[in-house]
Amino acid sequence: MFTGIVTDVGKVKAISGEADLRFTLSTGYDTATIDIGASIACGGVCLTVVDKSDGDFSVDVSQETLKVTSLGTWKAGTEINLERSLKLGDELGGHIVTGHVDCLGKIVRFDDVGDSIDMRVVVPSEFKHLVATKGSVTVDGASLTVNAVVDSANESVFSINLIPHTQQVTSFRNSNAGDAVNVEFDILARYVSRLQVKG
């Protein structure tokens, strides 16, 4: 379980494997405090630490995860939003995040709004019922507030305001229009949607 508050921006250091892949990520975390088997949200995906050394840790990623997330686009040097799992007593600064990606989105544009940036993300229309103005959404592991939503027949576009602090402490500082992003919708929206299904 996570909160969507990014606490480090790591970098892909090495990639190995042919089918399933092993990613080694450099990090500012004190890896002596990370247990083998611990969960870390990497770009919004809950992954298990399988190896570590001073300043980096490794995670294994299955073909299924590669199919449904943006991890297959990672290469050496790619910046990754990181968050260690929530402990009892920790501050819930964002919202409840599971690290289970609902869909791939795509950044379609950035617009300057004062010192902030309006980032727009498109997702398939089948998910439009899970995103709402002023609601929460997780994009590449960062808990963000939706400013507005525009639906069409085939897609839903939502806008996010990136304040200067968010720009500085997340991987969005190097993102570009056209980039694929991992999107997880608010878990409460999923349960409400399920309750509205008549069976």
Write down the pLDDT at residue 1: 85
- The phi and psi torsions of 81 (rounded to 5 degrees) equal -70, 130
50 token code pair: 């399988």
20 CA to centre of own chain? 20
| Pairwise CA distance, residues 150 & 3, whole Å | 26
- The terminus-to-terminus CA distance of the chain in angstroms comes to 30
Query: Looking at residues 131-153, what average pLDDT do you find?
Result: 95
Tell me if the pTM is above 0.85.
yes
**Which tens digits make up the pLDDT trace of 145-186?**
999 999 999 999 999 999 999 999 999 999 999 999 999 998
